[in-house]
């Protein structure tokens, strides 16, 4: 079993917030943290405004696709960060659950998604500092 921390980002559609968070954490932490995302009711495709907002900061998330949340993904995570999925997340003892209250970018243009992206980046930078002590 790996000793490196594992972070799972969860939102309903796994098309916007959780994908941006996964993109930032992968970009900032590299191989030091295992990063995954999933949704309780995954969408058909990534939110185009989220893809565009991330591209503006040099992060390409187009290789990702919405994925279904599985109990195994939760159980094997060090930290599970929910972004509005509420009761859809299964609970396992020993997993660190956190809820990030973030505006849902669904149906919004890139102008509205940028502040959400920037808030996610700020939270990810704090998470990296916590999980990978300098």
In whole angstroms, how far apart are CA 57 and each of 12, 109, 114, 121, 131?
24, 16, 10, 10, 23
Question: Do residues 43 and 104 lie in contact, with contact meaning Cβ atoms separated by under 8 Å?
Answer: no
- Lookup result for tokens 């990534």: 46
- Lookup result for tokens 């191989």: 31
Q: Which residues are catalytic?
A: 11, 85, 89
Q: Distance from first CA to last CA of the chain, Å, rounded? A: 23
């Amino acid at each position: 079993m790996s000793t490196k921390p594992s972070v799972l980002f969860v939102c309903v559609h796994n098309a916007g917030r959780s994908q941006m968070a996964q993109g930032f954490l992968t970009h900032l932490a590299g191989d030091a943290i295992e990063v995954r995302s999933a949704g309780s009711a995954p969408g058909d495709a990534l939110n185009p405004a989220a893809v565009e907002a991330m591209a503006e900061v040099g992060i390409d998330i187009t290789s990702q696709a919405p994925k279904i949340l599985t109990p195994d993904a939760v159980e094997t995570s060090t930290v599970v960060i929910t972004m509005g999925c509420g009761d859809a997340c299964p609970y396992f003892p020993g997993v660190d659950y956190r809820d990030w209250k973030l505006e849902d970018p669904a149906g919004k243009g890139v102008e509205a998604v940028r502040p959400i992206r920037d808030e996610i980046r700020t939270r990810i930078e704090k998470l990296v500092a916590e999980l990978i002590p300098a």
